[in-house]
Amino acid sequence: MSTEIKVPTLGESVSEATIGQWLKQPGEAVALDEPIASLETDKVAIEVNSTVAGVMGAHLAEEGATVTVGAVIATIEAGGAAAAAPKAAAPAPAVAAPATPVAPVEAASESSDPAVLSPAVRRAVLEYGIDPATIKGTGKDGRITKEDVVAAAQSRAASGAPVVPAAVAAPANERREERVKMTRLRQTIAKRLKSAQNDAALLTTFNDVDMSAVMEARNRFKDSFEKKHGVKLGFMSFFAKAACLALKDIPAVNAQIQGDEIVYFDYVDLSVAVSAPNGLVVPVVRNVDKMGFADIEKAIADYGKKAKDGALTMADMAGGTFTISNGGVFGGLMSTPIINPPQSAVLGLHRIEDRPVVRNGQIVIRPMMYIALSYDHRIIDGREAVTALKTIKEAIEDPTRLLIDL
């Protein structure tokens, strides 16, 4: 007896998805509610769980195929691990069993099998010359992520170990190309960002911030803060609260154009740009203007973990009135971030570095950060944008303003 596995409901206004990866191969035992496939929608990756326990039957759609809600994508056969042979319609295993027994290798895990690595991880493994069997996966169910491969490469470089390519090196004069189909998420990112350029009158204003006061406050209270709240005190909570001050003073920066109307929000739903294995995502911290530092840090940390595990939902990213993007974590010195439609502004943060500045007629060294505010000039005037960014700068340079709402 076989059970059909269908594409689940994907969320409001989402009718189709792409098979991103099969997590179970024909013939493998499957437990109840165990993930068997990963689907990529326009916004998130969604795992399809088995509705019964049994043995993985046939894959009725290949990786990369587009499927609709309700479509049958696989079958689960009745039986346990002993009944591992799929029906004739199911694809045969890629590798035949060896003629002689082979001792198991404990260091290698199922997630290190090239057949179950995602395309991004396979490319990273080849690029850095890392044996996937030596990598401990931090993704869901121990799967290897691209970040795991990069971390392993950095660790090997720091130890001075030689780089050994995972495959036979190509001749020096050989030129190669690789064509990889864009994921549905990457296609959506491309469309939305290009739409922002086409529809909005984009402009960016810059300023720099002396981070001395915030760094001193963080160093002074970080241990007691973590002990009391169970989360680390970072810089994002300071910038989130500073942004709330600016948006309250300059409502246009927290507004949107909808048709021929301008909608002003009396709340701040903060979209936080997070790097996930499949691309950039922007989960929303709701009512951040009413939250304390600890609540903000917890919300951002939870979203960061969910993004890394591929567990973000459509609801996590719905809405948002203003965005903060932190390119500084990757070492970016300055950028012109693109707004997240239909929002009208985005704050870009960058790396902190010691620079000479003039204070009271003296040249001193201070930890400085460039900040940028990209905005839609159709709704936000230059004076409003500059004033909002200046308000954020002043609040960061004197965090007391965050306490007295000034």
**What CA–CA distance (Å, rounded) separates 232 from 294?**
8
Sign of the Cα torsion 99, 103, 104, 107 reads: negative
**What CA–CA distance (Å, rounded) separates 246 from 384?**
10
199 annotated active-site: no
381 annotated active-site: yes
**What CA–CA distance (Å, rounded) separates 256 from 321?**
8
One-letter amino acid identity for 55?
V
**What CA–CA distance (Å, rounded) separates 103 from 316?**
45
Helix (H) or strand (E) holding 247: helix 236-249
> Cβ(340)–Cβ(189) under 8 Å?
no
Considering the candidates 33, 131, 249, 377, report the single residue annotated as catalytic.
Answer: 377
Ramachandran quadrant class, 129 (left: phi over 0; alpha: psi -120 to 50; beta: rest): left
**What CA–CA distance (Å, rounded) separates 131 from 164?**
9
Helix (H) or strand (E) holding 109: none
Is cis: bond before 8, omega within 30 of 0? no
| Residue 326: partners with Cβ closer than 8 Å, 6 or more residues away | 236, 273, 348, 349
The torsion angle over the Cα atoms of residues 164, 167, 168 and 169, rounded to 10 degrees, is -70
Determine whether 79 is exposed, middle or buried from the number of CB atoms within 10 Å of its CB (0-12, 13-18, 19+): middle
DSSP assignment of 41-93: -SS-EEEEEPSS-EEEEEESS-TT-EEETT-EEEEEESS-TT--PPPTTSPPP
Considering the candidates 266, 381, 398, 405, report the single residue annotated as catalytic.
Answer: 381
In 3D space, the residue among 167, 138, 162, 168 whose CA is nearest the CA of residue 150 turns out to be 138
Measured CA to CA in angstroms, residue 322 lies from 201, 270, 294, 340 at distances of: 17, 5, 20, 8
Annotated catalytic residues are 377, 381
